Chains A and B, each alone.
Chain A
Amino acid sequence: QITLKESGPTLVKPTQTLTLTCSFSGFSLRTTGVGVGWIRQPPGKALEWLALIYWNEDKRYNPSLKSRLTITKDTSRNQVVLRITDMDPVDTATYYCGQFNSMTAMHWGQGTPVPVS
C-alpha cells in the first residue's frame, strides 16, 4: 500500500522560507521511473504543480516559481523536501505531495494547509 504524508509549519510569516517534508511508504525512489512531486491548491482555486524529483535526481520546477523552489530527496529515509523562499500571503494554500509516474500523480498525500500571515 502506497502512502504519502506531508508535514510542515502550521503558519508562515511573509518573507519567511517554507520547508515541507513528504514522508512516504510502499515504494522507493530508487525505482526507475518513479518521482515525487508537490502540488498546491489555494482555497477555492485550482491545483498548481510546483516541483518534481525523479529517481535519477532529475528535477523539474514550475517555470513561474522556479527561482523560489528547491526540491531534494533522502532516498534512505523515504522523504522528499520542498523549500519555498520569500513566502507571501498569495502562497496560502493546501500543499500536497504525490507519487509520480512520468507526469501523472498516481497517489496523493492528504495535504497540509499552510496559511501565510
Chain B
Amino acid sequence: SSELTQDPAVSVALGQTVRITCQGDSLRSYFPSWYQQKPGQAPVLVIYGRNIRPSGIPDRFSGSNSGNTGSLTITGAQADDEADYYCNSRDISGYHPVFGGGTKLTVL
C-alpha cells in the first residue's frame, strides 16, 4: 500500500471547482507534486513545490498543503481535465520518492 492516500474517484460538473486530495505523514514536511495522466499517455507534471506550475500548465490548476494533506484544485474544470491525477512526495524516511494511488477525475 502507498504511503500517500488518494480518493480513487472524484467527479465535477463542467466549469465548477474540484479539489483532489493526497494524505500522508510526509506531507507535514514536504510539498506534494501532482501529475495528470490521460489514457494511453505518459504522466505530465502540473504542480510542484509551493504551488509552482510548469510552463504551459493553465492557471486553473493550483496546489496547497495543510497538515498531512496536500490538495490539487482545478478552478473551472474543463472537459480536457478529465484524467487520472497522481500525487508524489517523499516517503516518511525522506529518502525515497513515493506516489499516491491516483484519483480518476470525471468531468460531467
A residues neighboring B (CB under 8 Å): 37, 39, 46-49, 52, 60-63, 96, 100-101, 103-111
Query: CB distance B43 to A105 under 8 Å?
Result: yes
Query: CB distance B95 to A60 under 8 Å?
Result: yes
A-B contact count (CB 8 A): 62
Interface SS majority for chain A: strand
Question: Of all chain B residues, which has the CB nearest A103?
Answer: B97
**Minimum-distance CB pairs A-B, first 5:** A103-B97, A104-B33, A47-B99, A108-B42, A49-B97
Query: CB distance A52 to B42 under 8 Å?
Result: no
Give chain B residues whose Cβ lies under 8 Å from the Cβ of A39: 99
B24 within 8 A of A: no
Query: CB distance A47 to B102 under 8 Å?
Result: yes
Query: CB distance B96 to A62 under 8 Å?
Result: yes
A96 to B45, CA, bound (A): 14
Q: In angstroms, how far is the closest chain A Cβ from the Cβ of B88? A: 7
